[in-house]
């Protein structure tokens, strides 16, 4: 008999994959910077690696939020491992995790592409 995969397995695979990518690109960034995270004029490759690192990190946090919402949905009577107020709080934490991660990501995009801080030359 074939084993039918559930949604939670796909969610967990996605979370683990995004975390692996995040670790790989964090190590690549560390290698390219030589451990110096405060580079005044980064190269194009370094900017790309940093951006992919941020995207993988955001995907991880959204995945964790989806997992929490899936597991601790307060609209079902199923007991996962806890019930009651703690189940509702973890459900809300999942929602807030998704909202705040998306807010942070789109805020970075806005400041990167639409808001330019020009310094006056002295």
The arithmetic mean of pLDDT across residues 12-32, rounded, is 88
Domain segments of the chain as ranges: 7-113
Whether 13 shows a pLDDT value over 50: the answer reads: yes
Q: For the ranges 25-39, 88-102, 107-121, which has the lowest average pLDDT? A: 107-121
**3 three-state secondary structure:** coil
- For residue 98, give the nearest of 39, 15, 20, 35 by alpha carbon: 15
CA 87, CA 56: separation in Å to the nearest integer? 27
- Integer Cα distance of 108 and 118 in angstroms: 17
Which residue bears the tokens 């790309």? 48
Q: How many CB atoms within 10 Å of residue 12?
A: 13
Residue 104 has pLDDT above 70, yes or no: yes
Residue 3: pLDDT band by 50, 70, 90 thresholds? Answer: low
């Amino acid at each position: 008999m074939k084993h039918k995969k559930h949604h939670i397995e796909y969610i967990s695979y996605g979370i683990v994959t995004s975390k692996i990518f995040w670790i790989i690109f964090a190590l690549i960034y560390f290698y390219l910077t030589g451990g110096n995270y405060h580079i005044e004029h980064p190269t194009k490759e370094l900017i790309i690696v940093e951006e992919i690192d941020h995207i993988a990190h955001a995907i991880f946090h959204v995945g964790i939020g989806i997992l929490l919402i899936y597991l601790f949905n307060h609209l079902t009577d199923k007991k996962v491992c806890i019930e009651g107020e703690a189940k509702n709080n973890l459900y809300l934490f999942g929602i807030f995790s998704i909202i705040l991660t998306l807010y942070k990501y789109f805020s970075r995009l806005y400041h990167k592409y639409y808001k330019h801080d020009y310094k006056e030359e002295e």
